[in-house]
A and B are shown apart, each in its own frame.
Chain A
Amino acid sequence: MRVFARFALLLASATGIAQAHSGSTAYLQATVSGANLQLRADYALSDLDDALGIDADGDGQLTWAELQAATPALLAYLTPRLSVEADGVPCPLTANPAVQVADHADGPYAVVQFSSQCQGEPAEWRLTDTALFEFDASHRALLRWQQGSETSSATLSPERNSLLLSGPRGSQATLRDYFHEGLAHVWSGWDHMLFIAGLFLAAALRREHGRWQPVPRLGPALADAAKLVTAFTIAHAITLCLTALGMVSLPSRFVESLVALSVLFAGLNNLVPMVERRALFALAWVFGLIHGTAIAGALLELGLPTSGRLLALLGFNLGVEAAQLLLVLLLVPLAFALRHWRAYVPAVLWPGSALVALAGLIWFIDRAFAMEWALPI
């Protein structure tokens, strides 16, 4: 019954809240420069005490003296469990015997510094860490790998305790990933789609003497539209970068309201022309600035990577531009083909623009007055 009595505890403490906090975690920070590797490894004192017994006198108080006394045992334990290979060749890790302490979010850690000198200019590294997994199946080591200006991160687990790491491929992947994100942002973000639709419904028309006239040639219409979106993207890129790098900060509700207003304006301008074609560039520029701030706000909420983020931002903006140009290539020729159709203005331009304007208006009210409507945007 003794065992049973202990397990009755489960009912009281396991309902609902299972994980009081994160499990055992180690932090590895590797800095690679040429063939030289510096590795800082932080292990939680509570983990080390459970595994190796740091608390020599067993009084529950882990002192600095006890940690120093346990350091040879700690290094003897870690050394065979941490290893590095450069292009398949093992490079011995040398531990600095002076262990330090660092306070992480979940308590004090022992900090051990290792260094390794490999040969040549390694293209590919392998890092293996098997420490503590034999004691704790939920132990994880969070690796931060810094090579040149690139930083990547990964998690080591009992199933995956050895990682291949390479520098240059990482930056390409970042660029590619964020390019895709930029594409996806335009395709799945209603704000961009509506704003662009508002701008280009009238792309193949020209205002003359208060009436819409078809433009004579497709080329200039396309070039016009492309310049417009590029102006938009450049402005977008500027504020996106400034905000994401923390140099500018605007309240998101204010910015999102402005974005909604820009959509409203783009739609209205086709119904009741307020600015002429030339002035649209200035407007696209201003709207681009606003949109950039808005998307950066969303990106910031998630936390941007501290390194490689310029590349990430570049990829993202290139993706946005590519998606927009693609839209222009699709929409403008369509509008051009339909430009002579008598009903184009009453049947497409007006209702389309009215829809864009209405969406902008509803959205504006929602954002500006914090209505919390369940809008699909």
Chain B
Amino acid sequence: MILSRASLRRIALTLLLLSVSATHAAEPYTPASPDTVLLQRAPGAAKALRLLRGAQPGLDAESPLTAVQAAIAEGHRSGDPRYFGQAQALLGRAWLAPAPASPARLLRAMLKQQRHDFAGALADLDAVLAAEPGNAQARLVRANIRLVQGEPLSARGDCAALIGHAGFLVIATCIGTVDGLSGKAASAVQTIEAALAREPDALSGIRIWALTQAAEIAERLGDLPRATEHYAKALAEAEAAGENDVYLKAAHADFLLDQQRAGEVKATLAAETDFDPLLLRLALAEQQLAQAGDAAAKNAVVGHLKDLQTRFALTASRGDPPHWREQTMTALYLQADAKAALQLAQHNWAEQREPADARLLLSAALAAQDKSAAQPVLDWMQQTRIEDVRLQALAAKLRAMP
């Protein structure tokens, strides 16, 4: 790089202010026929939310929060983050209030978590749990944030506190997830599997979550048949329930890509390009196919890389926080820019510390031949005693580096 990084960043910022988003360029047209379908949406969802929003606040004290909850649920169901923005707008003054009542504060914490404002979310959750120690939702959300932050042991207390306040499958999955990240992975899978067998009629959302966790733990243990089975079940449950679980689909795509099964990824994600994480996995699949000699896939990678960059630029123009994980993967795998990938992976690691993030930082450090950059992850692995065959393999390679 001829320019220093700092200089580049300054220029990038200035250019961004001046630059015209590529998406501004879309040409307007008049559709040919009145019957032309412009957009396909889930029937009913928008109307249901509109009706909830219209419900008079004050007539029923619960109704405004019901609309917030419905918007959050729709955001999870559809994978569309606009519903979280709508939920925030529905929260109204409670969004900025110093200490809203617990129900509103819990919803605010969930929205903050969604925006990766983990510190803000934890402050709200601490306050909610101080007032209501038995609030299972708050416990779960707080446990989840600590898991995302790579602190499984500090999540354990919240999982244990669920006993008596949540169903068996929820408790088992919460504890299993913690154990799966802290040196007891084999028994963790068994715990979750046993709980799944014991509660076959649990709500689909809970079952999908439990199956996803079981699949990921089995995957980290290197037990591919078991992971395959749980992923398949999780995907089938999500399909049946009409859930567009972007996290699950992305995790499954990564699982297949690791096994060089790019064809299957391409087939399942070809129509999912609206979602950045899935567009990225599609491009990665096409890259694998291109490396195997598929000429058409080679062009597709170029096009999809450009689309991804447009989306990242859009995120920046909007003033949203960057999607570090996707940007790291793009730089590392699609652009083979080891230096940029390492910087991005470090930013990502500062924000979230799941096994996938650890893997990215190790891979980027390896690609950039920068052993010391990997140290925080190596320390974290030792401290959590996480079992993950891919992380161990990367760590071994790094240790073998001169």
Chain A residues proximal to chain B, CB less than 8 Å = 3-25, 27, 29, 40, 42, 45-47, 49-51, 53, 55, 58-65, 67-68, 98, 100-109, 111, 133-140, 142, 144, 151-155, 157, 174, 177-178, 181, 184-185, 188-191, 256, 259, 291, 294-295, 297-299, 302-309, 312, 372-374, 377
Contact status of A19 and B73, CB under 8 A, knowing A46-B39, A64-B31, A185-B7: no
A377 to chain B, nearest CB (A): 7
In the complex, the chain B residue whose C-beta lies closest to that of A3 is B69
B125 to chain A, nearest CB (A): 12
Instruction: Please report the C-alpha to C-alpha distance between residue A45 and residue B40 in the assembled complex, in whole angstroms.
Output: 10
Which residues from chain B contact A185 at a C-beta distance below 8 Å? 3, 7
Q: Please, which residues of chain B bring their CB within 8 A of the CB of A155?
A: 317-319
**Closest CB-CB distance, B13 to chain A, in whole Å?**
9
Question: Is B389 an interface residue, CB under 8 A from the partner?
Answer: no
Please measure, in the bound complex, the distance between the C-alpha atom of A17 and the C-alpha atom of B174, giving whole angstroms: 19
Select one of A11, A59, A133, A140 contacting B318, CB under 8 A. Answer: A140
Asked if B224 is at the interface (CB within 8 A of a chain A CB), the reply is: no
Known A-B contacts A8-B209, A188-B7, A189-B3; A144 and B27 likewise in contact (beta carbons under 8 Å): no
State whether B82 touches A13 (Cβ < 8 A). no
**A303 and B19 contact, CB distance less than 8 A:** yes
Are B50 and A50 touching (Cβ within 8 A)?
Answer: yes
28 A-B pairs (CB sep. < 8 Å): A6-B205, A8-B203, A10-B72, A11-B144, A14-B114, A16-B325, A19-B315, A60-B41, A64-B38, A65-B34, A100-B28, A102-B26, A108-B38, A137-B89, A138-B81, A151-B18, A155-B317, A178-B14, A188-B4, A190-B4, A256-B2, A298-B8, A303-B15, A303-B19, A304-B19, A305-B20, A306-B19, A374-B368
Q: Given A142-B317, A153-B17, A189-B7, check contact A23 B209 (CB 8 Å).
A: no
Pair B2/A102 contact, Cβ less than 8 Å: no
Are A12 and B245 in contact, with the CB atoms below 8 A? Answer: yes
Interface of A is mostly: mixed
Contact indicator B3/A298 (Cβ below 8 Å)? yes
Identify which of A55, A100, A299 contacts B41 (C-beta below 8 A). A55
Whether the pair A21, B275 counts as a contact (CB closer than 8 A) is: yes
* Residue of B41, B174, B206 most packed against chain A (CB within 10 A): B41
What's the Cα separation between A22 and B79 when bound, in Å? 11
A63–B37 contact, CB under 8 A? yes
- How far is B205's CA from A4's CA once the two chains are assembled, in angstroms? 11
The verdict on A46 contacting B82 (CB below 8 Å), with A17-B325, A21-B274, A189-B2 known, is yes
Instruction: Given A12-B205, A181-B7, A304-B15, answer yes or no on A377-B28 (Cβ-Cβ < 8 Å).
Output: no
A312/B18 in contact, CB under 8 A: yes
Q: How far is the CB of B151 from chain A (nearest CB, A)?
A: 13
Which residues on A sit within 8 Å (CB–CB) of B318? 22-23, 25, 140, 142, 155
Question: In the assembly, what is the distance between CA of A247 and CA of B317, in Å?
Answer: 27
Interface string of B102-124 (1 = CB under 8 A from A): 00000000100111100000000
Interfacial chain A residues near B2, Cβ < 8 Å? 189, 191, 256, 259, 291, 294-295, 297-298, 377
B88 within 8 A of A: yes
* Per-position binary interface string of chain B over residues 15-45, scored 1 when its CB falls under 8 Å from any chain A CB and 0 otherwise: 1011111111011111101111111111110
The reply to whether B81 and A20 form a contact with Cβ atoms under 8 Å apart is yes
In the bound assembly, the distance between CA atoms of A189 and B14 in angstroms comes to: 18
CA distance A65 to B148 in the complex (A): 46
Whether the pair B11, A299 counts as a contact (CB closer than 8 A) is yes
Within 8 A of A (CB), among B241-263: 243, 245-248, 250
